[in-house]
Structure 1
Amino acid sequence: MAENGYADLEKQVLLLNDHEEKHFMSSEIVRDIIIGVSDGLTVPFALAAGLSGADVSSSIILIAGIAEVAAGAISMGLGGYLAAKSEADHYMRELKREQDEIVAVPDIGLEKPDPMRALWSAMTIAISYIMGGLVPLLPYMVIPVATEAVLASVVLTLVALILFGLAKGYFTGNQPFKSAIQTAFIGAIASAAAYSIAKVFRA
């Protein structure tokens, strides 16, 4: 009877550990996607709006926007890689310190990070940034007049920000509607500021 109880307890521990690992990994992926898409939607959107305020052509805005998306994806991906690499390095330092302090180490309570985590983080953030960054630039690909393209870009990007905010709120456990409003508001403020600054310097 005692052996059965011990076996049941052992199964519950294994199931709990398995559940925590899946949850931990999925939360990291969601975090990377949120980082990539939120910046990818907002930064190129503000850049395109600012250049539209300076009365340049759609082709110039598109070239500048694509260059920004490429540079931003590389920069954000590299940042994600370095952050995950630092986490792995920190684990190794802590592991060595614990081993030096304790002679017998049955379980030191450290969770070993996935060795591929840094690479996956870099790729996830970079791809998410590119996907988000192309949204505000799409109108400039088909509308040659920048003053017309910027209106379509604003509408398209605000819709994308609202949908992204809803998804972010759902996956992070926050209020989806509140998250959608906050995300769209931040994007709108950023683009309005960039557009207004460009207009002021243009004048």
Structure 2
Amino acid sequence: MSTPEELSRALKEHEESDYHGLWIWQYIQDIVFGGNDGIVTTFAVVAGTTGADLPHSVVIIMGIANLFADGISMGTGSYLAKRSERDNYERLRKEELFEMEDHPELEREEVRQMYRKKGFTGHDLERAVEIITSDKEKWAEIMLNEEHHMDKDAYAHPITHGVLTFISFAIFGCIPLLPYLFGTARESRFTVAIISTFVALIILGITRSYATRERLIRGPLEVVSVGALGAIVAFGVGVFLKNLVGVVL
């Protein structure tokens, strides 16, 4: 039988070996969503302007403008969403603490009923209630997690969520523009943009699959499908508007 020290060491090694234990993993949703939106919206700009047969300088101007405008919008949106969730968590935490002061026995009974449903009985149940209610901050945290499924760590750093969303948007959003920025031959620019965008979307899809532990094929398939749909629509709209208004530049 393992000693407590051996179990503690084994648990630490397990957490360190599990990629879901890395600090960056709590922000993977921001990275994937920001990157996906950056690629799709920027490539939609590239596809739309290409469909309208506009010069590559227009593609660059509109693409970079999209990177900054939409990227800032995504980043601030992520920040505000997480901050709102954090504020809501704090509001509910204060309500729980107030109820503990105002109706302590009722709140203890709530804990008792909660852990009875989990299978605790007799002395073990009463001991669990005693331990949980001995620290009001921890008690409130447990109640928020059990009743509202809220984890304080998920809302701890809203600025980091916003910054990483913007950075991911900007980095991945640059990919469809690279052929237009670095002198790729005119006739092959759009083709290179399609290929590089496709590869980047697959990478994002695989990352999402690892993050959600879903089937490996599902993430890339869904991400590429959404990107392809956006590109087809944008290209089609560009061609349609060119023919409709007779744009010749």
Displacement of 1:112: 3.4
- Give the aligned CA root-mean-square deviation in angstroms: 2.9
Residue of structure 2 aligned with 1:200, choices 240, 245, 249: 240
Do the aligned partners of 1:55 and 1:146 also contact (CA within 8 Å) in 2?
no
Aligned residues: 193
- DSSP 3-state at the match of 1:102: helix
Do the aligned partners of 1:51 and 1:61 also contact (CA within 8 Å) in 2?
yes
For 1:76, the equivalent position in structure 2 comes to 74
Displacement of 1:160: 1.2
TM-score normalized with structure 1 length: 0.83
Residue of structure 2 aligned with 1:167, choices 207, 232, 236: 207
TM-score normalized with structure 2 length: 0.69
For 2:121, the equivalent position in structure 1 comes to none
- With over 3 angstroms needed to count, the CA separation of the structure-2 counterparts of 1:145 and 1:201, relative to structure 1, is farther
Instruction: For 1:161 and 1:80, locate their aligned partners in 2 and report how far apart those are by CA, in whole Å.
Output: 21
Equivalent positions of 1:129-148 (< 5 A) are 129-143=169-183, 148=188
Gaps of 5+ in 2: 105-132, 145-150, 244-249
Displacement of 1:171: 2.3
- DSSP 3-state at the match of 1:176: coil
Q: Deviations over 1:106-147 (max 9, x none)?
A: 212144347761110011100000011000010111347765
Counting aligned pairs with the same residue, the percent is: 30
Residue of structure 2 aligned with 1:157, choices 197, 211, 222: 197
Instruction: For 2:186 and 2:54, locate their aligned partners in 1 and report how far apart those are by CA, in whole Å.
Output: 7
What letter matches 2:217 in structure 1? Answer: F
Larger radius of gyration: 2
- Spell out structure 1 runs of 4+ moving beyond 2 A: 22-28, 110-116, 142-148
What letter matches 1:198 in structure 2? Answer: G
Q: Deviations over 1:129-184 (max 9, x none)?
A: 00110000101113477653212111111111112212221222111222212211
Do the aligned partners of 1:165 and 1:179 also contact (CA within 8 Å) in 2?
yes
Do the aligned partners of 1:81 and 1:118 also contact (CA within 8 Å) in 2?
yes
